């Protein structure tokens, strides 16, 4: 159940917008407004950052962070989008990169649990972007042409990706690095978490700086998860990622080392890890692994004030 107290403090509670608001802003106006807001928040050039930073929505939980870990959960939601019918997928290929409407139950709640646990350990919040919408209406883990069919779903999609883009830009500016954890659910092995990094393509920064061991070694993210008694795949860690779970649009888009110094991991969680009875322990274990990960690869320890990259020059006496 979604408890109101779990809402991030700066996310205002609003009732869903009526299907036909008396004064509807056109998508173009919203985009323009959003772009103006976005330009004030990031120094990325418009050429680098074409996505508008859309206005906050009751259907996307957006919470800014204080250290360079960004949690994303695109498929755990249950809400409709007012006035938008379910997607039909006519003429679209199905499959891991195509049309699919099944939700990843429990991942919305797991994202909040993990954010809470990270806040407890680091003393400050991670970045968080969560869709509360059912995948029948919108799939944020796809390019726009597959993600939605009704144009009234576009603002919600843009809110999700506008926030992801803004936060990756912000992590780049403030911390010179960052990691995206994209949380999903899979139904094939209940006790397993599958790694999705396009077999290392979405963790290039990590491997360039720290070697391939940072992707496939015992102290890689999935090695650290295994140390917390979470069952992970691939095992051994330098094996190939499982077909269908190699990582989707979100990790490809935000784990692009040519664009910014950010790595992205897709975590395909088995049912045991996202069930109501299991997810608190899951969050504790992932958070414990992330403390070590942040020390090793983000040069960030709990209690850091952050924003220490590059080191400040010595001031003259
Ligand atoms: Zn998913």
In angstroms, the CA 38 to CA 40 distance is 5
Query: For residue 15, what pLDDT is reported?
Result: 34
What is the whole-number distance in angstroms between the Cα of residue 103 and the centre of ligand 1? Answer: 7
What is the whole-number distance in angstroms between the Cα of residue 301 and the centre of ligand 1? Answer: 30
Query: For residue 307, what pLDDT is reported?
Result: 52
**Which of 3-17, 192-206, 229-243, 284-298 is the least confident region?**
3-17
What is the whole-number distance in angstroms between the Cα of residue 40 and the centre of ligand 1? Answer: 32
Mean pLDDT, residues 49-67 taken together: 74
What is the whole-number distance in angstroms between the Cα of residue 158 and the centre of ligand 1? Answer: 18
What is the whole-number distance in angstroms between the Cα of residue 295 and the centre of ligand 1? Answer: 28
What is the whole-number distance in angstroms between the Cα of residue 74 and the centre of ligand 1? Answer: 7
In angstroms, the CA 157 to CA 125 distance is 24
3-state secondary structure of 275: coil
Q: Which CATH class is domain 58-87+94-297?
A: alpha beta
What is the whole-number distance in angstroms between the Cα of residue 303 and the centre of ligand 1? Answer: 32
Query: For residue 55, what pLDDT is reported?
Result: 52
What is the whole-number distance in angstroms between the Cα of residue 50 and the centre of ligand 1? Answer: 25
What is the whole-number distance in angstroms between the Cα of residue 81 and the centre of ligand 1? Answer: 19
Please state whether beta strands 178-185 and 232-233 pair in parallel, antiparallel, or not at all (unpaired). unpaired
What is the whole-number distance in angstroms between the Cα of residue 59 and the centre of ligand 1? Answer: 17
| Environment class of 217 (CB within 10 Å of its CB; exposed 0-12, middle 13-18, buried 19+) | middle
Where do the domains of the chain lie? Answer: 58-87+94-297
Element (H, E) at 165: helix 154-175
What is the whole-number distance in angstroms between the Cα of residue 185 and the centre of ligand 1? Answer: 6
CA 3 to chain centre: 21
| pTM, full prediction | 0.80
What is the whole-number distance in angstroms between the Cα of residue 146 and the centre of ligand 1? Answer: 14
Per residue in 245-296, pLDDT (tens digit) is: 999 999 999 999 999 999 999 999 999 999 999 999 999 999 999 999 999 9
Average pLDDT, the chain: 84
Per residue in 106-143, pLDDT (tens digit) is: 999 999 999 999 999 999 999 999 999 999 999 999 99
What is the whole-number distance in angstroms between the Cα of residue 206 and the centre of ligand 1? Answer: 24
């Amino acid at each position: 159940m979604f408890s109101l107290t779990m809402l991030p403090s700066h996310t205002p509670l609003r009732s869903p917008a009526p299907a036909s608001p008396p004064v509807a802003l056109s998508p173009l106006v919203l985009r323009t407004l959003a772009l103006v807001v976005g330009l004030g928040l990031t120094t990325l050039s418009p050429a680098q950052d074409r996505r508008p930073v859309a206005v906050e929505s009751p259907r996307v939980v957006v919470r800014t962070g204080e250290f360079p870990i960004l949690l994303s959960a695109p498929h755990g939601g249950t809400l409709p989008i007012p006035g938008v019918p379910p997607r039909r997928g006519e003429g679209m290929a199905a499959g891991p990169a195509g049309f699919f409407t099944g939700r990843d139950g429990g991942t919305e709640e797991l994202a909040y649990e993990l954010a809470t646990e990270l806040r407890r350990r680091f003393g400050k919040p991670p970045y968080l972007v969560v869709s509360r919408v059912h995948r029948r209406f919108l799939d944020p883990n796809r390019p726009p042409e597959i993600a939605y069919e009704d144009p009234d779903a576009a603002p919600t999609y843009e809110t999700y990706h506008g926030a992801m883009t803004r936060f990756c830009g912000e992590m780049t500016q403030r911390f010179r690095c960052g990691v995206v954890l994209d949380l999903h659910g899979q139904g094939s092995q209940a006790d397993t978490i599958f790694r999705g990094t396009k077999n290392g393509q979405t963790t290039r920064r990590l491997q360039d700086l720290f070697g391939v061991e940072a992707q496939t070694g015992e102290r890689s993210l999935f090695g650290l998860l295994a140390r917390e008694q979470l069952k992970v795949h691939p095992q051994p860690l330098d094996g190939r990622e499982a077909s269908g779970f190699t990582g989707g649009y979100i990790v490809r888009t935000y784990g692009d080392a040519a664009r910014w110094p950010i790595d992205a991991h897709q975590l395909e969680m088995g049912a045991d890890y996202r069930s109501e009875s299991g997810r608190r322990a899951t969050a504790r274990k992932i958070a414990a692994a992330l403390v070590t990960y942040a020390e090793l690869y983000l040069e960030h320890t709990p209690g850091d004030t952050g924003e220490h990259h590059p080191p400040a020059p010595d001031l003259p006496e």
